[in-house]
Structure 1
């Protein structure tokens, strides 16, 4: 298989704080990975480095074969637009915009026409089960629906890699389970997904777990064939839509 993401001996230092300490990690195309750890473990810093929102102090980060340290800011923006989708815990939706307009914003820097952006946004909302909410604004949506809009915005550009930062953290149990099910469905359709979480139960339900502590990878484990099949079934049936 082809590595979508590779980190080699990555560090990130802020003043006297070493947030990442020699992180080495490889994620292949089509994987579904949980990056888990307590607050302060370095997982959010690693997310920012992986998503090219921050540059490492040393080491290399390669996304779809591109060494990001060699890219200009404009080239990094293009790489994000083409290959990386972000889902955040608190949605980051524009309050005055409809669901369609929020999702279409995910295509602003891709050169797609306004009409095509709207068409693709509606298709993405249909994909996440929100065909009946395309003209609703965030205040008219439940928490779970807002997160689905955020996921639609993240995948509307068909990214190679989807980064989900605590995607269920602001949701109740049922809505969180439904969002996790959707992430599993997207992965099953071919999207490589990294879920950043402090939720050990959520992490345990996914096929691969990367455990962070004190800025370093403490453990990297993959379920065996039997456990993997069980986890995928559990992921797909956690909650009805």
Structure 2
């Protein structure tokens, strides 16, 4: 059952769906223009494109951090445009996990409490938040670092802590924005491997990246260019039938 609406959307609901979505800004800037894309529950997807292509805008819309100028967005079957601010916050807290290039960890608290603080908006008491945080840190191989502060962790350990924070609430959708951008190649491969494991456990994972090697290893790749979907391809070479407005 969803904290956002109090109803279950049904097993067939995609993790995320955008229908003819546009996001325009003052001055005639068209960050996104007529984007339609469907991400199924349990999919692993890479979104690639050059700087300024609209990738970050797409992530903000998928994460309900921004609202579209036009079009419809559904997350887990819920029409985001029909939700009030509190309901959108509840949807983010319970249904979406965020992983960013910069780890955004609070400097003066432990890894355990950094993860637990990510559950603040779930309404759980502190004891339960810490229990779930400890379980999430075990899940990403960080149980032995739970009492360490960020400056006592390597870059890879900080990113794994950030991933633990993202998955502590068992979201159905994980959005990873350049998750390897601040890491060396070997550590980045570990992080991508961890995201693959989380996907194998059932979460839909969307990786936004400019790294074509990272994208090439993902089963589905959506290319964004000039605010539109330029291509949507799968490992088997098939073009997705779930995307509209694809330019040749």
With the length of structure 1 as denominator, give the TM-score of the two structures. Answer: 0.92
Task: Name the structure 2 match of 1:14.
Answer: 25
Alignment of 1:57-72 (within 5 A): 57-72=69-84
Structure 1 stretches lacking a partner, 5+ long: 226-241
Task: Name the structure 2 match of 1:145.
Answer: 157
Task: Name the structure 2 match of 1:190.
Answer: 202
Query: What is the CA distance between 1:51 and its match in structure 2?
Result: 0.4
Task: Name the structure 1 match of 2:14.
Answer: 3
Deviations 1:188-210 (A, max 9, x none): 01110000001111001000000
Deviations 1:68-102 (A, max 9, x none): 11111111000101100000000000000100000
SS at match of 1:3: coil
**Pairing 1:83–2:100 present:** no
Task: Name the structure 1 match of 2:66.
Answer: 54
Structure 2 stretches lacking a partner, 5+ long: 1-11, 238-248
Give me the whole-angstrom Cα distance separating, in 2, the residues matched to 1:102 and 1:221. 37
2:108 to 73, 79, 96: 96
Query: What is the CA distance between 1:224 and its match in structure 2?
Result: 1.8
Query: Contact (CA 8 Å) 2:96, 2:171: kept in 1 or not?
Result: yes
Task: Name the structure 2 match of 1:36.
Answer: 48
SS at match of 2:34: strand
Alignment of 1:156-167 (within 5 A): 156-167=168-179
Following superposition, which runs of at least 4 residues in structure 1 exceed 2 angstroms of deviation?
A: none
Query: Contact (CA 8 Å) 2:48, 2:215: kept in 1 or not?
Result: yes
Query: Contact (CA 8 Å) 2:32, 2:58: kept in 1 or not?
Result: yes
SS at match of 1:62: strand
Task: Name the structure 2 match of 1:179.
Answer: 191
Task: Name the structure 1 match of 2:4.
Answer: none
Query: What is the CA distance between 1:112 and its match in structure 2?
Result: 1.1
Query: Contact (CA 8 Å) 2:13, 2:77: kept in 1 or not?
Result: no
1:131 to 125, 143, 146: 143
SS at match of 1:46: helix
Give me the whole-angstrom Cα distance separating, in 1, the residues matched to 2:137 and 2:230. 37
Give me the whole-angstrom Cα distance separating, in 2, the residues matched to 1:18 and 1:66. 26
Query: What is the CA distance between 1:3 and its match in structure 2?
Result: 1.1
Give me the whole-angstrom Cα distance separating, in 2, the residues matched to 1:85 and 1:67. 18
Query: What is the CA distance between 1:182 and its match in structure 2?
Result: 0.2
Give me the whole-angstrom Cα distance separating, in 1, the residues matched to 2:92 and 2:105. 19
SS at match of 2:118: helix
SS at match of 2:121: coil
Task: Name the structure 2 match of 1:114.
Answer: 126
Deviations 1:9-66 (A, max 9, x none): 0000011100001000000011000000010000100000110000000000000111
Query: What is the CA distance between 1:2 and its match in structure 2?
Result: 3.6
Give me the whole-angstrom Cα distance separating, in 2, the residues matched to 1:4 and 1:179. 22
How many residue pairs get matched? Answer: 225
